[in-house]
Structure 1
């Protein structure tokens, strides 16, 4: 896996910002004219497999997403071509009054300097761990327009929203999507969470670069992350084992399956995920599974490093807090040796921070006493 990772990084480094060569990936869109538009090239993608982009003459771009949805980005000043079927959603640039509901997308907009294009948010100011997003809401540059299941349609209509970026949670309330479309607001469902490769999740920054017309900047941002990771890509495995987990209120433990992106981040960092035998085919297609505490202890008791996931229940800061959830963990090797870490709650809104998380994991696996200031998304339990 690490050899493949290193090779893919090298392939990504060869892609220069603004490159217009056709993608060699066989899953990329066919090089063909479409609906009177003259095909030019496809957006090169190195890790993402949940979307593709085809470019046509005069700046048109067709986006195909793995759920079957299709979008045509029409440049400012250009007409919508004739003959499009009803399944193609038109996105007329400039897209500068966006209703952003998918929290994972905010950091991608931030990375390309696109917060000015977001007018409405599905998360209120105090729910953002991205400082720039919170500050924009406090200034009134971005307004709260209700969560995904209960949007403020009146505000959305009054603000002349030109695109709603939703998470897949919108599929639980299809009537909301239908109502937005009736108001003339096109809906794009964000699927970066379906990327099993963490680098693929970050590569969605290129899709938002297409929407905002800043592809070169998006490519540069993505390439910078690959460059950062190249420093550890060819290093040998550390030989250290890692468990990544969360303890639920009922005492069970949620862990990631082997195909999940977190398990792959651990591998890229030079670690060995202790629950690698849990495949995505077991029980269901979910990327996580719940274990009874005794089963988790059996798998994690000899792990060199424990990483607690703070996403749901909040951050832990002390061993006492961890052992209050399960005294059984006191006998774990990592607890005895003081190698227990917790993610910051900012991690899972920081879509462009996954590279930084890989580097953090590598640091705690290779440095027994890392400087806390050198870590971005992990802190040690004391």
Structure 2
């Protein structure tokens, strides 16, 4: 019987993933589309009957408001009926977006345990059991998902590596939405997914308001006219337990934030033998880091892996070659807070922080995600 259900679900998934935006059901009268400034990985079309059609990659979803009848023809789409309750968030980057619009109560399960959360509201919710940890995304507690009547599972693209998990969730009639914010080319595109979660929870206006407030300061920055040769250079890194320097690959969203803030990421593709994988980071030898980044104007240490640093001596203690770096000698060394990557709503704030240190106007009391090493 299990094999039959799995086969049936797999066939259903073929219909879902094989559908394109052009062949929407004929009885859905599309009247408009959600305005998106930066996000490119999802679209939302409004229907005359109050429903919304969400397209994410090859997946299509029909969001049906409470009290609205489900249209007869929903072929090729996953139906999500509102109100959406008892949401399971396996994509950790989405959790802060729910918190940002005050809808954390709609989330009841997560695949990230208590100790892995640096965001206070979410850490406390998981610690108290208000949001239940149900195991890793690759092996969730299906019994809890069913018993707690999960209304929606939000997965990251990591689920593509364990398709059997998605298959099993759908076999239990749990809609699965794979969020693709990590594929966004613009850093603020990740944050704009808050509009989708606002739509799902019935609080789109709050999501749009927060997004507008968060991006206003970024949009007021004047950095496009800064010549390339006048931009201050920066390296963003941390040192692994094995002694390697872990850096962001050129073109990833952190390096793009540096560029959007008026700086220049010190590493280029020509400097590196970039490994061909989907990771946004890579490890390099200390000699390579020294040769490329020694004269960088600014060093930014990523604290999210091994904890925050507070002094330059702590940094040099990790590798003595750093004492010879220009940024170390001039006192332009900074460290991120541990919440930088989990706080998706802070992308615009991080760009503004970077702009402040690139313009030389940094004051620790003004910064949200960065602090200077003494």
Q: Offset of 1:318 from its aligned partner?
A: 2.5
Q: Offset of 1:278 from its aligned partner?
A: 5.4
2:218 match: secondary structure: helix
1:305-332 CA-partner distances (Å, limit 9, x unpaired): 0011122233222223322322111111
Distance 1:364 1:278 in 2: 26
Q: 1:130 to 1:247 in 2, by over 3 A?
A: same
Among candidates 115, 137, 146, match of residue 148 of structure 1: 137
Does 2:90 correspond to 1:97? no
1:161 match: secondary structure: coil
Does the 8 Å contact 1:236/1:270 carry over to 2?
Answer: no
1:41 match: secondary structure: strand
Distance 2:261 2:317 in 1: 30
Distance 1:164 1:154 in 2: 14
Does 2:292 correspond to 1:299? yes
Match of 1:180 in 2: 169
Does the 8 Å contact 1:257/1:279 carry over to 2?
Answer: no
Q: Offset of 1:29 from its aligned partner?
A: 6.0
Match of 2:27 in 1: 36
Match of 2:12 in 1: none
Does the 8 Å contact 1:35/1:82 carry over to 2?
Answer: no
Q: Offset of 1:357 from its aligned partner?
A: 0.8
Among candidates 339, 344, 360, match of residue 346 of structure 1: 339
Does 2:74 correspond to 1:74? no
Q: 1:308 to 1:132 in 2, by over 3 A?
A: same
Matches within 5 A, 1:304-319: 304-319=297-312
Distance 2:335 2:59 in 1: 37
Distance 1:288 1:120 in 2: 29
Does the 8 Å contact 2:25/2:74 carry over to 1?
Answer: no
Runs of 4+ in 1 over 4 A off after TM superposition: 278-283
Does the 8 Å contact 1:29/1:53 carry over to 2?
Answer: no
Does the 8 Å contact 1:29/1:52 carry over to 2?
Answer: no
Does the 8 Å contact 2:98/2:197 carry over to 1?
Answer: yes
Distance 1:280 1:61 in 2: 45
RMSD of Structure 2 on Structure 1 (CA): 2.3
Does 2:51 correspond to 1:60? yes
| TM-score when normalising by structure 2 | 0.87
Q: 1:209 to 1:300 in 2, by over 3 A?
A: same
Among candidates 38, 41, 51, match of residue 47 of structure 1: 38
Distance 2:208 2:268 in 1: 33
Match of 1:377 in 2: 369
Match of 1:251 in 2: 243
Does the 8 Å contact 2:266/2:292 carry over to 1?
Answer: yes
Among candidates 211, 228, 233, match of residue 222 of structure 1: 211
Distance 1:190 1:278 in 2: 32
Does 2:351 correspond to 1:358? yes
Does the 8 Å contact 1:317/1:381 carry over to 2?
Answer: yes
Deviates more, 1:265-274 or 1:210-219: 210-219
2:236 match: secondary structure: strand
| TM-score when normalising by structure 1 | 0.85
Q: 1:289 to 1:278 in 2, by over 3 A?
A: farther
Distance 1:279 1:64 in 2: 38
Matches within 5 A, 1:231-310: 231-234=220-223, 237=226, 239-277=231-269, 283-284=275-276, 286=278, 287-310=280-303
Does the 8 Å contact 2:25/2:73 carry over to 1?
Answer: no
Matches within 5 A, 1:325-340: 325-340=318-333
1:162-186 CA-partner distances (Å, limit 9, x unpaired): 0011112222222222221112211
Distance 2:164 2:124 in 1: 32
Deviates more, 1:155-164 or 1:319-328: 319-328
Q: Offset of 1:59 from its aligned partner?
A: 1.4
1:126 match: secondary structure: helix
